[in-house]
Amino acid sequence: MELTTLWFVLIAVLWTGYLVLEGFDFGVGMLLGLLPRRADQERERRVMINTIGPVWDGNEVWLLTAGGATFAAFPEWYATLFSGFYLPLFLILVALIVRVVAFEWRGKIDDDRWRAWADRALIFGSWVPSVLWGVAFANIVRGVELDADHQYVGGLFALLNPFALLGGAVTTLVFLTHGAVFLALKSDGDLRHRAGTLAARLSVATLVVAGAWAVWLQVAYADEAWTWAAVTVAAVALVLVVLATRARREGRAFVASAVAIVATVVLIFGSLFPDVMPAVDPAHSLTVLNASSTHYTLTVMTWVALVLTPLVLLYQGWTYWVFRKRLSTAHLPAPAGLTFRRTETSGAAPE
């Protein structure tokens, strides 16, 4: 296998890891505003956040690695993508930063208004990337307006086409379902039951919308017949999610949901190859050959990846094993953040 093809595949693998792992993080974050009961909202939100608390930052490393690998292996693809999709990617970056701050600072102050703002930030930081990643990937598959210098010349509204907007709906529904299944797998008690019920309902909508988008992609934009296999695997996996969530088989539902995401990434990257960023005019498309780094650079990157990747996978697998137990409101300790005493003259003073 040529090194350019190898790194195209490796970047697809990195995106697969990110979307499978960060996908349920986004799903849980979005569900913070939908699932908790008002009577016990704070405690249930704490449980939901705690289910992803030990792993969310490690899951985001997959995105950093995918971006870094793209920059090093295919610098022209990276430059065209980040300049052409500047505003959507900037909004994703802002949302991720806001989300990180909310995760880290939510428990620092024991105050209801403080936690409410942190929860809004978490919800915002989960919804925005969930929608925009689907819009971005759909546009990449569909093809964008590039000139002879591989610069994006289409406007912002050119990215908001029906196929891309449907792609945004797909990633949002997939992550919501994935997150609800993960929450049912990791929580206990009434929260687990309501998460499972919601997952069963969401899975039907996800099957319909994602199935329609995948068939549209295959018929309109895929040049290879073999990618029908990815469409079929994704469809079967989503059907299994529907069946498993109805039977309350959370483990099977989570595996099936992950398989559906993997198959979707295979469909996207399989439809792209040998392009990395197709253009409306095929003569201006970026390919694995005209967008890649030198052979020496790719060789060094390959050796580094062979040494470090197994270590990263082992560490992340160990993290999931350590934090594998279910959580419930019964496991919550008392809030440990700073408390404030409010007075008429001085405003708020820490106790």
Which pLDDT belongs to residue 141? 94
Q: Is there a domain that residue 151 lies in? A: yes
> Is residue 334 scored above 80 in pLDDT?
no
Count of domains in the chain? 1
Mean pLDDT for the chain overall: 90
Distance CA 21, CA 53 (A): 13
Amino acid at 296: Y
Say how far apart CA 164 and CA 83 lie, in whole Å.
18
Domain for residue 269, yes or no? Answer: yes
pLDDT at 140: 94
CA neighbours within 13 Å on the CB side: how many for 21?
22
What is the per-residue pLDDT for 227? 94
Percent of the chain with pLDDT over 70: 94
We report the CATH number of the domain holding residue 41 as 1.20.1630.10
Q: Which residues contact 187 (CB under 8 A, 6 or more apart)?
A: 47, 48, 51, 195, 326, 327, 328
Nearest alpha carbon to residue 16 among 350, 267, 238, 248: 267
User: Cβ–Cβ contacts within 10 Å for residue 97, how many?
Assistant: 12
pLDDT of 96 over the 90 cut? yes
Long-range pairs for 317-323: beta carbons < 8 A, 24 or more residues apart: 319/54, 319/55, 319/58, 320/55, 322/54, 323/54, 323/55
Q: At residue 217, what is the residue type?
A: L
Angle between the 162-186 and 190-221 helix axes, to the nearest 10 degrees? Answer: 150
Domain annotation covers residue 311: no
In the structure, what pLDDT confidence band is assigned to residue 38 with cuts at 50, 70 and 90?
Answer: confident
**40-57 per-position pLDDT tens digit:** 888 899 999 999 988 988
The number of CA neighbours under 13 Å toward the Cβ of 150 is 17
Residue 331 lies in a domain: no
Q: Which residue has the higher pLDDT, 332 or 236?
A: 236
Residue 185 is part of which domain span? 3-293
Within a domain: residue 298?
A: no
* Residues 6+ positions from 177 with CB-CB distance below 8 Å: 27, 199, 202, 203, 206, 241, 257
DSSP β-ladder status, 347-350 and 340-343: antiparallel
Residue 316 resides in a domain? no
Q: In this structure, is residue 330 part of a structural domain?
A: no
With a cut of 80, say whether residue 347 has pLDDT above it: no
Q: What is the mean pLDDT of residues 158-175?
A: 95
Residue 164 lies in a domain: yes
With a cut of 80, say whether residue 67 has pLDDT above it: yes
* pLDDT at position 345: 47
Cβ distance 241 to 191 under 8 Å? no
